[in-house]
Amino acid sequence: MINHETGSPPGPGPAAAGQADLGRRAAFRREQLGLTREEVAARAAAAPGYLQYVEERAAAPGIGFMLRLAHALQTTVDELTGGTAELPEGFGRAGNRPQLLELGIDECRERLSTHGVGRVALTVDGEPAVFPVSYTVAGERIAYRTAPGSGPSEAAGREVALEVDHFDDAFSQGWSVLAVGPAHVVTDLDDVLALEEYAFTGPWMGGGRQQWIAMRPARITGRRIRVQGMATPSGGPTAAGHHVSAV
């Protein structure tokens, strides 16, 4: 039997849906260090062809190879396998010649898309507070459901900020959009029904959150970090009110 770490890589098989996370993390880290596959393979005591297979396919290497690969790439197995995914974003290293770019209004709205999870920032009892909310975009408005008397419901009648972002530690890229404007409780029944139709999902916390809070942004701004030679990630956190430049 061929040892795929030191001999030829496995033959063609069904490709994963896109490049495997392990593979893209390993490839990007290698590029960050300015190393070739041959150099990393030599450090990890593996065949260059096997390293190519790991980077480009949905491979599941053994722990011995993973430890050697992590050492060769000056990182950890947890970072290569996404073990830090449940931790706050920002564990990734800075990319190669990163650029901080302003997003245009159309780009900001595109990233807000039709729904998602964001953070509402407001003042409660004289102190700043930030609450995660499941939001819906309906025309020019951004709305979310909450329970009367809850923290997010305190946004009604105030100027508030809603921040949405997405970060990719594997690629050291990300974007942040900030919408600021007055918020109010939606009381018109037809308006409530229309928002219900726009909503893709119910509140993550379950029932009892039937009060709609809507804001019509007076301004929307955004920024993104782009690493040279890498595509911009899409999808969906930092403290509300701070753009990705604070990372």
pLDDT digits (tens, 9 = 90+) for 40-57: 999 999 999 999 999 998
The pLDDT value recorded for residue 86 is 56
Which residues make beta-bridge pairs with 228?
none
Which residues make beta-bridge pairs with 121?
130, 161
Residues 76 and 224: their CA atoms lie apart, in Å, by 27
What residue ranges in the chain does DSSP mark as E strands? 98-102, 115-124, 127-138, 141-146, 159-168, 173-185, 211-215, 219-227
- Both tokens of 204, joined, read 């993550």
pTM for this predicted structure: 0.56
Q: Are 231 and 167 in contact (CB under 8 A)?
A: no
Rounded average pLDDT over 143-151: 89
> What rounded mean pLDDT belongs to the chain?
78
Q: Which of residues 69 and 204 earns the better pLDDT score?
A: 69
The pLDDT value recorded for residue 77 is 86
Q: Which pairs count as long-range contacts for 112-117, CB under 8 Å and 24+ apart, including other chains?
A: 112/137, 112/142, 112/164, 112/177, 112/179, 112/220, 113/137, 114/198, 114/200, 115/198, 115/199, 115/200, 115/201, 116/164, 116/236, 117/164, 117/204, 117/236, 117/237
Q: For the chain, which domains are there?
A: 21-81 (1.10.260.40), 98-246 (2.30.110.10)
Residues 192 and 185: their CA atoms lie apart, in Å, by 10
- Flag whether pLDDT at 6 surpasses 70: no
DSSP state of 125: T
- Flag whether pLDDT at 158 surpasses 50: yes
